[in-house]
Amino acid sequence: MDYREKLKELIKQRALKVADKPVFKLSSGKMSSYYLDLRTITLDPEGGFIIGNLIFNMIKDKNPDGVGGLTLGADPISYATAMISYINRQPIKPFVVRKEPKGHGTGKQIEGNIKEGDRVFIVEDVVTTAGSSLKAAKVAKENGLQILGIIAIVDREEGGEENIKKEGFPFFPIFRVSELLGQ
Mean pLDDT of 142-166: 97
Helix (H, G, I), strand (E, B) or coil at 99: coil
How many CB atoms within 10 Å of residue 26?
16
Would residue 104 count as lying in a domain? yes
Mark the binding-site residues for orotate, compressed into ranges: 128, 156
Would residue 95 count as lying in a domain? yes
Mark the binding-site residues, compressed into ranges: 98-99, 102, 104, 124-132, 156
Would residue 13 count as lying in a domain? no
* 118 Cβ neighbours under 8 A, 6+ residues apart: 65, 66, 93, 145, 146
Would residue 167 count as lying in a domain? yes
Would residue 79 count as lying in a domain? yes
pLDDT by residue (tens digit) across 12-28?
A: 999 999 999 999 998 77
CB 135 within 8 A of CB 109: no
CATH number, domain containing residue 57: 3.40.50.2020
pLDDT by residue (tens digit) across 43-93?
A: 999 999 999 999 999 999 999 999 999 999 999 999 999 999 999 999 999
Q: Exposed, middle or buried by CB within 10 Å (0-12, 13-18, 19+), for 47?
A: buried
pTM, entire model: 0.95
Structural domain harbouring 100:
44-176
The count of structural domains within the chain is 1
Mark the binding-site residues for 5-phospho-alpha-D-ribose 1-diphosphate, compressed into ranges: 98-99, 102, 104, 124-132
Would residue 4 count as lying in a domain? no
Sign for the CA dihedral angle at 121, 183, 13, 19 comes to positive
Would residue 134 count as lying in a domain? yes
Would residue 183 count as lying in a domain? no
